[in-house]
Amino acid sequence: MNHSHTLIDSVLAGERRALARAISRIENETEDARVILSAIYSRVGRAYRVGITGPPGAGKSTLTNKLARHYRAQGKQVGIIAVDPTSPFTGGALLGDRIRMTDVEVDAGVFIRSMASRGSLGGLSRKAGEAADILDAGGMDIVLFETVGVGQSELDIAGAADTTVVVLVPESGDGIQAMKAGLMEIADFFVLNKADRPGADQAVMSIKMILGFRPHDATSWLADVLKTQASDGLGIDAVASEIERHRQYLLSSGGLETRRKARLRQRIRGIIDEELHEVFWNPQRASMLEARVASLATVGLTPYDVATELIGDFRKAVSPKSHV
């Protein structure tokens, strides 16, 4: 307990090694992660959270790093959380670290951290949100979430961010592809990166056309499409301005509070789901399931029969009176 308290104090003081250690505990789901998160909770809420997402190869890392430099030049403290899909045979986060661009890492004002999902994709955006809480409580002004690659993480991260930026390139397909990918719904605005490549203007037009189908009225936010060449630093200031414009919109419309409450709701639900899951799948019920799966072809039960049986067993066990 004393140990956790020292770590909590160091997190609140913004010490980099403490931030890293606290995030590792979240990632590894250690017992004291929850103690730490509860202890810092009253200090959370100041940092602005921006999700940078989009298909692989769109240049999200580059854009994220250039944005981080932009904010650093304004004297802001910046945290970057790179959210990787699980990669059982290589270690997703490891890869993420290795091939990451490193031009901002040497700057002590930027804290970079990769997080892998270790199998539970649903849990990843919650963990990323909790890691952002650590950075928030530690004094970061901006937390940038960057998703690595395809997968649910790409869409989920919108749930952890105040503003979500979807990065596309001319080659990543037109607006219809982005719509099919579910990216239209989560984008607060789009960045068309590598805008010097052929087809850039057509891609912008196509995205804008699809955006026109989104229901909106005079007061709603209209998602724009910005062009960048992130590797040359072109268009980064405009992206930062658009993030700020969206933040102002959310503040004045009450949208920021709505989003943060939605996030809180999701987070409480996530904690409950995981806890129920843990209580349900004790070794005994896990064995029951295995035995049923092994014999299901022979005994004429359906998956629904087995589910009903296991839930019945759970109902008996979970009762507070079951130990009487």
Contact stretch for its own copies (CB under 8 A) within 70-78, 217-225, 243-251, 273-281: 273-281
Token pair listed for 189: 């605005």
How far is 6 from 9, CA to CA, in rounded Å? 5
- With beta carbons less than 8 A apart as the criterion, state whether 151 and 121 touch: yes
Minimum CB distance to its own copies, residue 1 (Å): 16
Whether the CB-CB separation of 154 and 147 falls below 8 Å is answered with: yes
Which of 21, 208, 247, 292 lies at the binding interface for its own copies (CB under 8 A)? 292
Size of the site for its own copies (CB under 8 A): 80
Give, as ranges, the residues between 197 and 236 that touch its own copies (CB under 8 A): 213-215
Pick one of 12, 121, 234, 238: the residue that binds its own copies (CB under 8 A). Answer: 121
3-state secondary structure of 111: strand
The residue assigned the tokens 């490891």 is 94
Contact 186, 155 (CB under 8 A): yes
Touching its own copies, residues 174-193 (CB under 8 A): 176-185
Q: Are 200 and 208 in contact, with CB atoms under 8 Å apart?
A: no
CB atoms within 10 A of CB 112: 23
166 and 190 Cβ atoms separated by less than 8 Å: yes
> Which 27-86 residues touch its own copies, going by CB under 8 A?
34, 37-38, 41-42, 55-57, 84-86
268 binds its own copies (CB under 8 A): yes
Nearer CB in complex with its own copies: 10/86: 86
Distance CA 90, CA 15 (A): 30
- Binds its own copies (CB under 8 A): choice among 222, 276, 291, 299: 276
Region binding its own copies by CB under 8 A among candidate stretches 7-15, 105-113, 244-252, 262-270: 262-270
Q: Is 300 in the site for its own copies (CB under 8 A)?
A: yes
Q: Which among 7-15, 188-196, 198-206, 287-295 is the span making contact with its own copies, rule CB under 8 A? A: 287-295
